[in-house]
Amino acid sequence: MMVAPKLRFKADDGSAFPEWEEKTLGDIVERVTRKNRDNQTDVPLTISSLDGLVDQRDYFKKTVASKDMSGYFLLQNGEFAYNKSYSVGFDYGSIKRLDRYPCGALSTLYICFGLKPNVDIDSDYLTHYFDSQKWNSEVAAICAEGARNHGLLNVSTSDFFDINIMSPSLPEQRKIAALLSSVDAVIAAQQAEVDAWEQRKKGVMQKLFSQEVRFKADDGSEFPEWEEKTLGELGTFTKGAALSKADISDDGRPLILYGELYTTYNEVAVHIVRHTEQNVADRFLSRVGDVLIPTSGETAEEIATATCVMQEGVVLAGDLYIYRTVDELDGRIASYLLNHSVNKKISNIAQGKSVVHIQAKELSKVIMSYPASLEEQRKIADCLASMDEVIRKAKDELAKWQELKKGLLQQMFV
């Protein structure tokens, strides 16, 4: 039985739109199975994800000359493709519409489809519908148990086209699509602002860490030349407490787990999001300026990351090293340098395949170039921290708009 949406539009004259109907996807779309028989080589090629429907032309130019694409599906502009594989943000696969190019070549692993002629369905409405939790729950219901073998979802084509779709009248569809598209436009603009600030920060760091640009002392004098020392000369390493996600609680001391160095915190952590009521020894409690480095990760590049904690008494737990610097080195500048200047040296000494590890004794041997003047260190760190704050606020604003869209989708598609 169809549940009435919580949020409804009205017609321009104030009257109510007709009740929504329930149809199957197969009622409104038809499968696309046309093949690239002529082996066209002037179309974008999507490789392992539907990002190719947006832009894979650079990859395509490098590889397509030697690739036989005659067996690929040929998608036309405005048609859809379902990637039935698990990916971050798409637990049950993603659906994308080809918008950027007149046509595109896709692997036959995709389920491709387009609107049937003369159906009362707005393509933009359908695109937004595929972003809804309602749609995801329908796809989840037809995924075979234990289907995520190598990331692929076992979704049969016939079951896919039997999925129910909530269909308002065409005028209401267009109102819904217009609202959600306007929110998408704001989200895209906000994401562009985040990206622009991150690029600015990257450029500033490149100039500062290459010493192309140098700060001066408050009296206008030059700071001394940078020095080189090993990490072992500049600090000590201690392993974090043996705690895990199971030790997270609503109250207690602030807590940082090693996995959050990848997902939650950047170079400097000021606001700590987790807590624990577990008691730990004092050596596992942070001092302002402590630098955290993961002891393990999935790749050598991933493990080459660091976070400086700017809060006293945080429980530092999991597979991480607590790097406590000497007085001549500000922990913030150490973290920035470890992430963006010394990271390649760290990834080079990581060991392992499926799980990569790094040893404190090897980290201690890594040589780092750093500003000899503590005042210059703080000027650099303050500059980058101010940019981080702008980025944080921009990301918070982005998250608010993304949450708004999520709420709208939940109320419109019940």
Q: Answer whether residue 337 is part of any domain.
A: yes
Same domain, 262 and 353: yes
pLDDT at residue 368, as a whole number:
96
pLDDT at residue 53 is higher than 70: no
Count the residues in the chain: 414
- Tell me how crowded residue 141 is: count the other CB atoms within 10 A of its CB: 11
CATH label of the domain that carries residue 55: 3.90.220.20
Among 20, 29, 25, 2, which residue's Cα sits nearest to residue 165?
25
pLDDT at residue 52, as a whole number:
43
Residue 33's domain comprises 21-168
Same domain, 76 and 147: yes
Q: Answer whether residue 3 is part of any domain.
A: no
**Pair of tokens at residue 332:** 């913030």
Same domain, 121 and 84: yes
Q: Answer whether residue 215 is part of any domain.
A: yes
Q: Answer whether residue 240 is part of any domain.
A: yes
**Domains in the chain, number:** 3
Of 168, 196, 211, the residue that ends a domain is 168
Residue 41 CA to residue 63 CA, distance in Å, equals 10
Q: 59-63, 267-271, 299-303: which has the minimum mean pLDDT?
A: 59-63
Are the CB atoms for 47 and 104 separated by under 8 Å? no
pLDDT at residue 211, as a whole number:
95
- Percentage of the chain lying above the pLDDT 90 cut: 66
pLDDT at residue 43, as a whole number:
57
Determine the straight-line distance between the first and last CA of the chain, rounded to whole angstroms: 11
pLDDT at residue 106 is higher than 50: yes
**Pair of tokens at residue 386:** 């101010």
> Residue 66: pLDDT band by 50, 70, 90 thresholds?
very low
Same domain, 256 and 316: yes
Same domain, 156 and 33: yes
Residue 174 CA to residue 327 CA, distance in Å, equals 63
- Residue range 331-363, pLDDT digits in tens: 999 999 999 999 999 988 888 877 888 899 999
215: Cα separation from own chain's centroid: 34
The single-letter code of the amino acid at 380 is I
Same domain, 270 and 352: yes
